Amino acid sequence: MSQIASRHLSFADYVAARRGDVDRALERWLPAPPACPPALAEAMRYAVGNGGKRFRPLLALAAADAVASASGGGETARADALRRALPIACAVELVHTQSLVHDDLPAMDDDVLRRGQPTVHVRYGEGLAILVGDGLLAQAFGLLARYPADEGDAPLLARKLRVIAALGDAVGASGMVGGQAIDLTTTGSCRPDGAGAALDLDALSDMHARKTGGLIRAAAVGGALMAGGNDEQVEALSAFAVRVGLAFQIVDDVLDVEGCAATLGKTAGKDAGAGKVTFPGLVGRDTARLMATDAVAEAEATLARAGLSSPYLTGLARGVVSRRD
């Protein structure tokens, strides 16, 4: 890791240091020529690019750090926890990027702008964009199987397998893919008559828990597991992340109404244009923002009860509500 994982780093310095760790590791773990065809390697790097907030990897690392700190580990234990959590931190970012690339395709949300740049299919064509997503997804699971190298460490291997299973659940048909399938039913694009299904608040929350929340949860749980967290700690970080994930999606919906493309780095007003059911659409913008603030307060209380309070997890959770993109 780039710097000692010091408790004394400010939140901004911590985020900068951990982002650096993640960006360097992503570059190292993305496939490169000659093993990978140059055009595909270039397009995968374009997708992963620099513009993302790296929220999920930061969450995974901060969760690992919080577990190591709560277990009374010193600087070495915290640095070890961060090193062990780096593969899952990168794997969630690869899966997240895959979901963005496929979500932007004409068959899904049909968007031309992402992270302030042309979407992958606009830049490289639809066929390669599909392959970029497929490649990122496979790379995520491949790197998790390889790193951290277990070298005969049976407990570490067992934890890694739990992390791989958690990520598989978060991504698969009962997770992100399932959430996206529900989303398609709301726009009617998967029915011959084009009729969109209506969602109430519970159904909307369930869809987003699958589509957005699952990966955020897998990041926090994965980080906690790789740091050797016990069941209570893992459960607390899971509950924390579920609430943060809900807040994340509520704010995403609000920003789609309030934001502009220059700030968001993606097309604004997409949800209304596509006739999507959203949190501000169901309860109004003010109530939606209150729901997000409440969810983050509950998330923080969950951590405090488990003795896992951390300025970095708090900073990330509150940043979800105050973010502008």
Q: Which residues sit at the interface with ligand GRG, rule CB under 6 A?
A: 52-53, 55, 98-100, 102-103, 108, 115, 137, 171, 176-177, 180, 211-212, 249, 252
> Which residue number has the CB closest to ligand GRG?
52
Angle at alpha carbon of residue 134, lines to 131 and 137, rounded to 5°: 150
Nearer to ligand GRG, 168 or 196 (CB): 168
Nearer to ligand GRG, 110 or 150 (CB): 110
| Closest approach of ligand GRG to the CB of residue 262, in Å | 15
Nearer to ligand GRG, 108 or 112 (CB): 108
Nearer to ligand GRG, 160 or 266 (CB): 266
| Closest approach of ligand GRG to the CB of residue 230, in Å | 29
Nearer to ligand GRG, 134 or 235 (CB): 134
